Structure formats: C-alpha cells, structure tokens
Structure 1
C-alpha cells in the first residue's frame, strides 16, 4: 500500500504512548517511505528504518492538558507487509488502471491505547476506566498522479467498546527536488454509537450534578493537516507534521468534553538501512 492512509479518529488520541505511536506511524511513516521510493526510482523490496519521534497532542476531555510524548519508531516493509509501530498492514494484490492510476488493497490491524483512567482529570473521577484495544479491518486506496483517495474500516476486535470506525482521506503529495516531500490532507472519520458512547458517554451509575448521564451516538469528525519530509540522503530524513480535528457534535455535547477542536504536532527522525 502506498503512502496514503485515512486519519486516525480522535477517540484514539489519548495520553497513552501507544496512541501517539499510531499517529506518528500514520502521519510520518508513509511520506518517508514514499520519499525513499522516489529517490530510489524503483519499487522497494525490503526496507528497515529506525528513528525517534516526539509529539504534542491536545486532549478532548475537560481538564486534561496536552500530552507531550517521545517514543522510538520502527518500520519494516516489503511487498507483502508494512509494519510501523503498533500498526501492521498485510498487502493484497493491487489493480492497475492505465499507466497513472491503481487500486491498492490491504488488511490492517493496530493496537490502540485510547481511553482514560479516573484519576486523569477531576471530570473523570469515579468513572470506570475506558480502555483501548486491538482494532482490525480493511483499507483501499485509489492512487493517481494528481490525488490519492483512501478509505478504511476498523472494528474493535478486543471487545472493549465493540465499536466500528470508517474513515475517508484525500491527499496530494508534492515533491520538490530530490529532498523535500510536502503532503496536505483532509479527511472524515465516522464512529458508530458504541465507540462514541464508550469513550465519551456517562453511565447512569457514573452521573453526578456536574456530569449528567449521557448516551453517545454516532458522529463524524473532520480533520485537516500537513505532513512534510526532508531527506538528507537515502538514509537520513526528518519528518514533521500537524493537524486539526473538528469534533463531531455527538462528542462535543458530552459532559466530559470542553472543546470543539483538538490539534497535534509532531517531529521525527528516521534512519533507513
């Protein structure tokens, strides 16, 4: 699968380091792989990369500040699989449409550390812990010389939320010389009622005066951002990016949430063997 992925939904942005790793994997790993391929001018066979990333992400929950995280990065890719951090994709046969278009298919899985513990903020006191888990599903991408359109469906196979997520992403990549890759992107992520209710709902047993009971419903988050890569040579590259997500009304209306948008910025270094 080439470098386009749907955005990570905001229910999966948490203070847990694994969630940050997912964001770095999707936001930074794909452009780096695309640049490596562009410089090599050949289809990559097997590639390894190691690096370090730092990320600052805003939380949607009231009273929870920004999460600033540093973490190691690992990437492995060949013609059958692409592994980056806690996310893995098994590539399926692609369909070529002419000389400049193709459809790419994959089976994806990722561990996600979303959720919270009751001590994370006063608004979460006496709430039962909400946990992340393992999500799996399928992805498809229509790639052309002008724009890439991607879609992904994931289900919580760990059984914590029992939810589902469907995402659409649109992006275009510009290459400037042999060193710079610039990639603006927009996307939408639909989360079903089980996902929203699990992470942002308030059960009757958890309700109090400043935190009334709330049943979450399905909603759509809208996201926009940019990614960039500067590759010094075939081995060393610097990765940078950021994005803003407008939360669905069904999330904003939760008594646990005190903002309508969240944002994140990240920076990374990769060494490709």
Structure 2
C-alpha cells in the first residue's frame, strides 16, 4: 500500500485542528442557535426552516507530535464548513442532527481521524515499526447549551482501534467585534486505542525500544479561541492551546513529550 506523504498528513491534521477549534464560534454567528423554540424535538418532526450556511477559508497551523524526534511543522491549509437543518460538517467530522430538547442537542457523529497514526519513516524511533493508520470513528454526540457556557461530549467507536470518549466545556465572551472562547476538555482513550497507536509489539522491539502494551488513559486540554469579525461574513480566528498526555501514552518508549502545544490561525468567508 502506498504511504501517505508526511507533508500531506501534516496539512490534513492542521485542517482538522482549526476546524474543530473554530467551528462553534463560526456556527454561532451563522444563527444556528440550538435553543430556538422551533428547533425543539426530533429534527425530522420539528418546524425549523432548512437554511444552509457554508463557507470557505484558509489558514496556517503549528503543532507537535508526541512521538520522539517527530519534529514540528508549519503548514498552510484550506477550510470548508457546512451547516443546515439536518447535518453539520467541519473538515472530516459529520454530525447528523437527531434532535434538540431544552438546550440539549443530540447528533450521530462520524469522524475520520487524521491526527492519529504514523509511518515508520516519520521519525527514527519509529523505524522498523508497522505503520499505524487513522480510523473512522462513529457514535453519539451531545451538547448542552446554557447561559453559563456549553458542555459537549461524545462516545465514539473505531473498530479494532478501540474506543474514545470526550467531554468539553467552553464559554464565549463577545467584546465588540471579538469573540473570546476559553475551553477545557478531558478525553478517555481505551487500552486498545493506546496499544495500537503507542504500543510496541514484541516483533517491533529493539535496543532502546522495548516491547510495550498500552493501557487506557486520560488526556486533558485547555486553550482559548479568539474570533475577530472583519465584516458580517468574514472572520479571522486564532486558537492557542495545550494538551497533557496521560501515563498510558507517556509510558510508551515511542513518546518523548507530555505536553503538546497547538497554535492555529485562519480566515473564513461565510457565503450564506
């Protein structure tokens, strides 16, 4: 099988990062307020008008990998967003909207992870390892919108690559043409997930890289997104954050970092 070039994978990773970080702020400006009375109940039964919002943009992202010697990249990328009554799309994430009740929205999520995995040529520590691939993840996703902020969560399955569950809290503050959104999150990763992406099989062990069986772990993250409204349709967004990796990951001989910083900046034009 032909390997995905490292630069291409870095670009795709950056697309996902900025889309997930900024999507909520842009969606809110488009008027997709889940608390509207007409949106209450099952999506298939409610009276909400099927209005489509979509936009195009571009940006640049900076990120690190937890794998030792992997290095960092600064890459440009395109950005596409789409939202209507039935679905919400951000990069490789698609939410099919099931319904909304008193500020609580439920969706069925499909997500292809481009963040995960590696080719053995990506770093010296990975030489001789079998390539690890991304996975398609699927499962329910919830969001609870209140005056005190938004709590969101998901539980996703990825076949033989395990399970992952995440909960996030964010609160937007509007100051003139700026929207500032601090956010914090916790993610649980199953032992199958950690073992696949960070484990070392006996056949892959060598001096300096002993065999390792991954265990379930928790990652935490914190950051802030800042969106500046140039006009009614144009946005510039900056996201700064850092993730703390759990022991199940950092105990792996492949990993050389516990804290993973992320910085992204992007521009988005909303056509509708």
> Which residue number corresponds to residue 55 of structure 1?
61
Contact 1:18–1:111 under 8 Å retained in 2: no
| 1:37 and 2:31 are equivalent in the alignment | yes
Task: Name structure 1 gaps, 5 residues minimum.
Answer: 1-13, 97-101
Q: Counterparts of 1:101-140 in structure 2 under 5 Å?
A: 102-113=103-114, 114-140=116-142
Cα drift, residue 81 of structure 1:
0.7
| 1:95 and 2:95 are equivalent in the alignment | no
SS in structure 1 at match of 2:80: strand
SS in structure 1 at match of 2:241: strand
- For 1:209 and 1:231, the matched residues in 2 are separated by 54
Contact 2:12–2:77 under 8 Å retained in 1: no
Cα drift, residue 205 of structure 1:
0.2
Contact 1:35–1:181 under 8 Å retained in 2: no
Contact 1:95–1:103 under 8 Å retained in 2: yes
Query: Root-mean-square deviation (CA), in Å?
Result: 1.9
- For 1:111 and 1:237, the matched residues in 2 are separated by 26
Q: For each residue in 1:60-99, what CA deviation from the matched residue of structure 2 results, as whole angstroms up to 9, or x when unmatched? A: 0000111222211111101111112111111111001xxx
**4+ aligned runs moved over 6 Å, structure 1:** none
Contact 1:50–1:74 under 8 Å retained in 2: yes
Cα drift, residue 15 of structure 1:
4.7
Q: For each residue in 1:172-224, what CA deviation from the matched residue of structure 2 results, as whole angstroms up to 9, or x when unmatched? A: 111113x2111001110000001000110000000011000000000000100
> Which residue number corresponds to residue 42 of structure 2?
none
Q: What count of residue pairs does the alignment treat as equivalent?
A: 249
- For 2:106 and 2:261, the matched residues in 1 are separated by 29
> Which residue number corresponds to residue 175 of structure 1?
174
TM-score of the pair, normalised by structure 2: 0.87
Say which of 209, 212, 226 aligns to 1:211. Answer: 209
Higher relative contact order (CA 8 A, sep 6+): 1
> Which residue number corresponds to residue 18 of structure 1?
12
Cα drift, residue 135 of structure 1:
1.1
- For 1:88 and 1:138, the matched residues in 2 are separated by 12
SS in structure 2 at match of 1:71: strand
Contact 1:237–1:269 under 8 Å retained in 2: yes
Q: Counterparts of 1:234-253 in structure 2 under 5 Å?
A: 234-253=232-251
